Structure 1
Amino acid sequence: MSKASDLSDFPKISSEAWKQKIQFGLKGEDYNQNLLWESLEGIHVKPFYHFDEVKKSDLYFSKFSDEWKIVDTFFVKNEKLARKYILKSIESGTTGIRIQANEPFDIEKTFSGFPFEEVTVFCQFSFFDLAFAERLIHFFKLKKAHFFLNLDPIGRLINDGNWFENETKDFNNLKRLFSAYPDQKCLGIDAVGYQQAGANIVEQLAFAMAHLNEYFNLFSNSLPTVVSIQFAVGSNYFFEIAKLRAFRVLYALLATEYGLPETCHLFAVPTLRNKTIYDYNVNMLRTTTECMSAVLGTADAACNLPYDALFHKENEFGHRIARNQLLILKNESFFDAVSNPADGSYYIESITKQLAEKALVLFKEIEKSGGLIKRLKDSTIQKRIAESHQKEQALYDAHREVLVGTTKYTNPEDHMVGNLELFPFLKTKPRKTLIKPLIPKRIAESVEQERLSFEE
């Protein structure tokens, strides 16, 4: 029979003692200059972290669920075809389906034979039809479905430049739904656009908070009890874990002020920002680590991105690879076996705390200056994000940051001219908008365009 280990002979070593030991090993070299680096958010990352630097009580948050959903995305234009692929995906292990559409569709036909008791439905529509939304809610309630309607007029304004119809009508329609269906998950904040336009992590958190607070201010007496927030996850592995954890801390803080439950639902997707058309298989590695960050960061649902989504039309192979990446994380790597798996990591807890604190300061600045919508209308938010994008882009242009296979370790035999089914670059279409929308910006675009020009 094994005995408990007696560690009393091993005294606790303070962080100061560890630092002195490291400085001794540096043999006169400067500790700060050689071992510390500064993130895009202005956080100085140290070579080690210690228990005496993190207070557990500082990081309290509540998770929506201990089980995270594996989500696959389908666009509904042909209901019969969409239903076929949806059911096939569910048979292959998907536990959540995200439905995208540009117009109302036949609900009964699309969801015929759908296992509502097993699979959650997430909606993401580019339109807001009140009558259709009500029909959808009635249908899902009848089926006792788990669903998120995810309506977000402000998100529409941010990403498109215009409201669905106009500010007054959009908010009135939303209020009608909140009042008629207070127990339904109608509100969903789309914070993906901030990240994909170039916002750093502190900005993403602060803007998502300000975005959310616009609704809290407008509908404080009729808000749904559960709000879903969608984030894009980037390649800074530990910082992205900390980002989602920090948002839970911030959400609990804000929700408490309005007398709301301090639990929110987090939906995570890999970013498009660092994806490439050259050496495209590396995209699988990128999305794998990004999905890992999402799950370890306590996301309630993870929706992966096919490795070829930039340049290939939707195809079964790309979807299968993306789905299998999540299945491996869940069923073979056991990422669902532990609740809040990053708990106890001094490094992650430290940057979680710093991100939350910095984001809270920025959030208060936005609110003091009139709130998110006002700052969007005067382009303050857009200008700040553009500056952050340029700052990060400059690091890649100077090769201080690397996109493997694209900005470094390129394969000269890799040709893409004849392999582009979709146009992978920024498209411009001049039109009148109320505000300047946030445009997704990929880091590799200029490099890829230059390489393609030499191929032609």
Structure 2
Amino acid sequence: MSDVTAASSVSFAEFPAVTTAEWQARLARDLKGQDPATLRWPLPDGFALEPFYHREALAALGGPPAPQPHPITPWLNVPTLNVPADADGREQIELAATALALGADGIHFNISDAATFAVYYLAELLPLARTFVGYTVTEAPDTLLSQLVENNPGTALRGFLRFAPGPVPEGGELADYRVALRRCVSLTTGMPDFRALAVNGAFFGNRGATATQQIAFSLNTAAALLAELPNAEVSTAQVAAALHLHMAVMPGYFLEIAKLRALRRLWATLLHSFGLPAELNERLRIHTLTSSWTQTTLAPHNNLLRHTTEAMSAVLGGADSLSVAPFDYLFAEANEFSSRLARNLSVLLREEAGLGRVQDPAAGSYFIETLTDQLAREAWQLFQRMEEAGGLPQVRGQLLDEIKTVATETFRRIASGQQVVVGTNRFQDRNEQFSFHPKKLLRSASFDVTRAAYPTEVLRLATALHFERRERKSKRAAVVLLGSNTNQVILESFVQMLQEHERPELAASHPPGTLSLLYSSAEEATLMYATPEQFQRFARFIYLIPNEKHVFIPPALLSSDLATMQEAVRVFGFKEMKVQGYTTEQVLARLQGR
């Protein structure tokens, strides 16, 4: 007979039940006659969250949904280590061994050049049969995987492989990669703890997609892989068993919990549509990572707080593994301080907060269950619309255009202050001392310009450099890329700061699809715009790159001597954006609080 006392059911019988009508009457009384509908929270996804949910919400869903399966173990803490193109990864492998000894449960290597990665050294330092290791590569995924298999005969690998072939979503362009991906599936068949195919939902999230779009477009990617890869040697079931999901998690706490839950629910529907057994859904693994879309270089310690909410959403939403990025990764070299904080965040949530001890903590919540259902319904409709239009890769352009539309609106909301980014557009430290060199950062080709705060952030950095250049009476000039279609947003933000009698009539916005630029010299600053082709030719001229066949991604900041820059701006056809009655320098000074 067991000595363990059975847990009694939780009851609050001493509290009288409150009906929905009573709650609504209380809301109306507290609002003093104001319509409760004014408290609705509209989402970019196209629907609104209600200010109040009650037990009827679950009845509308047909009763409380079944909780998600509880993982055998809590989520895995899997830091990401970047292996640069000029390295063989030995240093990162040693860092991985240290991280595993200090609280990490696995490692994710983001490898720039898989051909030079030290597979031998990896096997020497890490026991691959017991260690969860993820690999992201940009080319020849089957080559790296075959090297791992050949150098570890008889070893069933643990972890995942993610193939990220340039600026397209995995599944967005399959024609050139089918053979390699099929080989990856074949090499790992019989390795139940290794997933050789990634559905990279983070690709969409880190470009500003809504939660609905992230779910739907991830399903479109998975559908493309399930439809295109099977052949005589590789079955649909093998492809499905090899799939896993990579999802970026944003700071929208409850929304992100519901996003992961809705995705897992729809995964079962997707597999069923391909005639696959239900048990494959139980094997789904979701790897989550803190979002780059929401990170900032200004007031960067706030990234620690963003990461905390993102990590909590991930694990409460049912993530199987989690990568927390260092708070300063946008501008700093990898360092032990920020890496340790990132690694310990997951450890604290598990060891001290105990978040891994409860099965599906969000289950039964009137609000989250309703939100999960709404996201699932909206995402499935969007998924079907894309499939009816031809699916990936045929609809890749349409899919990216829809994300761009949403992202552009986010840029506008941030620049106008409607959407708060703490430390960047609200509660700024005007005397902030940058822990990086703004000019060096803006010149770096690796500087991430796809983030939500980038247009607002780079304007502040570029303005600081302009006033510094003016004070030093520099003989050089610079052109800074502010982003796409952002000049009108800048002007509108400026107008918001003026009194009514000061407000100018705004010039017409620059044509859609053009880039916003800031030309800066010691004598003047001018807001300009140019087509992407004009800016590309301009950048090649400044950097002396004549061969247009050579792939060249211009940095955000380009500088030269004053005469050369003035002539190049004229020759390549940059146009000035005008603010009636105000110079660009006056606009910038006001936006900077000067």
Same fold (TM over 0.5): yes
Q: Is residue 340 of structure 2 the alignment partner of residue 320 of structure 1? A: yes
**AA matched with 1:391:** E
Q: Give secondary structure in 1 for the equivalent of 2:430.
A: coil
Question: Which whole-Å CA distance do the structure 2 matches of 1:398 and 1:421 have between them?
Answer: 25
User: What CA RMSD, in Å, does the superposition of the two structures yield over aligned residues?
Assistant: 2.9
Post-superposition Cα deviations, 1:248-293, rounded to whole Å, max 9, x if no partner, equal: 0010111122214113111111111221112111110011111111
Question: Which whole-Å CA distance do the structure 2 matches of 1:171 and 1:396 have between them?
Answer: 41
**AA matched with 1:72:** P
Change (3 A) 1:372 1:256: same
Shift of 1:147: 2.1
Which residue in the other structure is 2:412 paired with?
A: 394
Change (3 A) 1:121 1:307: same
Which residue in the other structure is 1:71 paired with?
A: 78
Shift of 1:369: 0.7
Shift of 1:45: 1.4
Question: Which whole-Å CA distance do the structure 1 matches of 2:443 and 2:15 have between them?
Answer: 58
Q: For residues 195-274 of structure 1, what are the structure 2 equivalents within 5 Å? A: 195-220=205-230, 221=235, 222-258=238-274, 259-260=276-277, 261-263=280-282, 264-274=284-294
Post-superposition Cα deviations, 1:55-74, rounded to whole Å, max 9, x if no partner, equal: 34556654665420001112
Shift of 1:246: 0.6
Asked if 1 retains the 8 angstrom alpha-carbon contact of 2:171 and 2:393, the reply is no
Which residue in the other structure is 1:47 paired with?
A: 51
Asked if 2 retains the 8 angstrom alpha-carbon contact of 1:83 and 1:111, the reply is no
Which residue in the other structure is 1:16 paired with?
A: 21
Which residue in the other structure is 1:194 paired with?
A: 204
Which residue in the other structure is 1:96 paired with?
A: 106
Question: Which whole-Å CA distance do the structure 1 matches of 2:439 and 2:75 have between them?
Answer: 33
**AA matched with 2:212:** V
Which residue in the other structure is 1:416 paired with?
A: 434
Structure 1: any 5+ residue segments left out of the alignment?
430-438
Change (3 A) 1:132 1:5: closer
Shift of 1:425: 8.3
Q: Give secondary structure in 2 for the equivalent of 1:230.
A: strand
Asked if 1 retains the 8 angstrom alpha-carbon contact of 2:40 and 2:48, the reply is yes
**AA matched with 1:262:** N
Alignment counterpart, residue 283 of structure 1, candidates 291, 296, 303? 303
Asked if 1 retains the 8 angstrom alpha-carbon contact of 2:110 and 2:136, the reply is yes
Question: TM-score if structure 1 supplies the norm length?
Answer: 0.88
Shift of 1:372: 2.2
**AA matched with 1:71:** V
Q: For residues 283-362 of structure 1, what are the structure 2 equivalents within 5 Å? A: 283-362=303-382
Asked if 1 retains the 8 angstrom alpha-carbon contact of 2:202 and 2:247, the reply is yes
Asked if 1 retains the 8 angstrom alpha-carbon contact of 2:184 and 2:196, the reply is yes
**AA matched with 2:340:** R
Question: Which whole-Å CA distance do the structure 2 matches of 1:421 and 1:298 have between them?
Answer: 41
Asked if 2 retains the 8 angstrom alpha-carbon contact of 1:98 and 1:121, the reply is yes
Asked if 2 retains the 8 angstrom alpha-carbon contact of 1:282 and 1:404, the reply is yes
Larger Rg: 2
Shift of 1:143: 3.5
Change (3 A) 1:395 1:59: farther
Post-superposition Cα deviations, 1:311-333, rounded to whole Å, max 9, x if no partner, equal: 11111211111111111111111
Alignment counterpart, residue 442 of structure 1, candidates 433, 451, 470? 451
Question: Which whole-Å CA distance do the structure 1 matches of 2:43 and 2:73 have between them?
Answer: 30
Shift of 1:417: 7.5
Question: TM-score if structure 2 supplies the norm length?
Answer: 0.68
Structure 2: any 5+ residue segments left out of the alignment?
1-6, 469-594
The count of corresponding residues between Structure 1 and Structure 2 is: 439
**AA matched with 2:455:** S
Relative contact order, CA 8 A, sep 6+: which one is greater? 1
Question: Which whole-Å CA distance do the structure 1 matches of 2:170 and 2:14 have between them?
Answer: 64
Identity of matched residues, %: 25
Asked if 1 retains the 8 angstrom alpha-carbon contact of 2:170 and 2:198, the reply is no
**Mean Cα deviation higher: 88-97 or 271-280:** 271-280
**AA matched with 1:142:** G
Question: Which whole-Å CA distance do the structure 2 matches of 1:159 and 1:440 have between them?
Answer: 18
Question: Which whole-Å CA distance do the structure 1 matches of 2:390 and 2:8 have between them?
Answer: 63
Change (3 A) 1:62 1:27: same
Q: Is residue 94 of structure 2 the alignment partner of residue 84 of structure 1? A: yes
Shift of 1:144: 3.6
Q: Give secondary structure in 1 for the equivalent of 2:241.
A: coil
Which residue in the other structure is 1:106 paired with?
A: 118
